[in-house]
Structure 1
Amino acid sequence: MHVIPLYAAVLALIYVGLSFRTIALRRKQRLSLGDGGDKALNRAIRVHGNFAEYVPIGLILLFLLESQAYSRVLVHIFASMLLAGRILHAYGVSQLKEKLIFRTTGMLLTLFSIIFTSLVLLYTVYEGTAL
């Protein structure tokens, strides 16, 4: 069984949830573009956008790692870091009274997932162990 489809599906559902939240706030403010100065809408837009910026590269790297037949445990660890990071970041930034610990921890987990996965892939290429 492959690991990444599970995380991709969960992350996709979170993305849809963030989309619905942004749409609901846009409808409430009757805005199709921009945030009209509404702080909650601005935060929803940035949470949604930030999620869309980091998740694709994270999933691509994780897919490449999994395709190299690495341990499922290692893939789960890096994928869990990405998932937890995105959830924590979204929660932290969504709050009008921002919870900086959640935002910071979320970004660190996200970036560490991307960095560690990239380093393992580079090692694989360097060592010539890529399949």
Structure 2
Amino acid sequence: MGLLTGMTSAQAAALWSGLMILLLVFLSIRVVMARRANRVLLGDGGNARVLLAGRVFGNAAEYIPAGIGALAVLTLLGAPAWTLHGLGGLLFVGRLIHAVSLSEKRPTAGRVLGMVLTFTALGVAGAMLVVHAFVGLPHV
């Protein structure tokens, strides 16, 4: 854990943003592989496996950019590294749990947990940004 505590705010934002981008790349590759395996050139071709892979990627792509943007702006505003680790880690773990759980063919508690973690991270980040617009963040 010492490695994380020695990071600057920018390094913390870079770590979590990078991990989330890599998650998007991995999920995108899964879509390509599903299309190739099922000989689908575009879209899902009516194939359930391709549709699911596309939705798993699409769901992550709907939330991750907002989280990365929030991390970047909070870094520019001087948020402490521990805050960025908390928000970035929460969002990354939420998206990872959700992606794994959404890959199953039935509703799971993991899907709910993933969304709760995601909404918590984005909600707290959003609130911090709004508050900072009027009050400012403490510089640590």
- Relative to the length of structure 1, the TM-score reads 0.90
Gaps in structure 2 of 5+ consecutive residues: 1-7
Alignment of 1:1-131 (within 5 A): 1=8, 2=10, 3-96=12-105, 98-128=106-136
RMSD: 1.7
Gaps in structure 1 of 5+ consecutive residues: none
Q: State how far apart, in whole Å, the 1-side matches of 2:137 and 2:34 are.
A: 49
Q: State how far apart, in whole Å, the 1-side matches of 2:61 and 2:53 are.
A: 12
Q: What are the superposed Cα offsets for residues 20-59 of structure 1, whole Å, 9 maximum, x if unpaired? A: 1111110011002232333222111001111111100111
Give every structure 1 segment of 4 or more consecutive aligned residues whose post-TM-superposition deviation is greater than 3 Å. 128-131
Q: What are the superposed Cα offsets for residues 86-109 of structure 1, whole Å, 9 maximum, x if unpaired? A: 10110011112x352111111111
- Relative to the length of structure 2, the TM-score reads 0.85
Matched letter for residue 63 of structure 1: A
Q: Aligned residues, how many?
A: 130
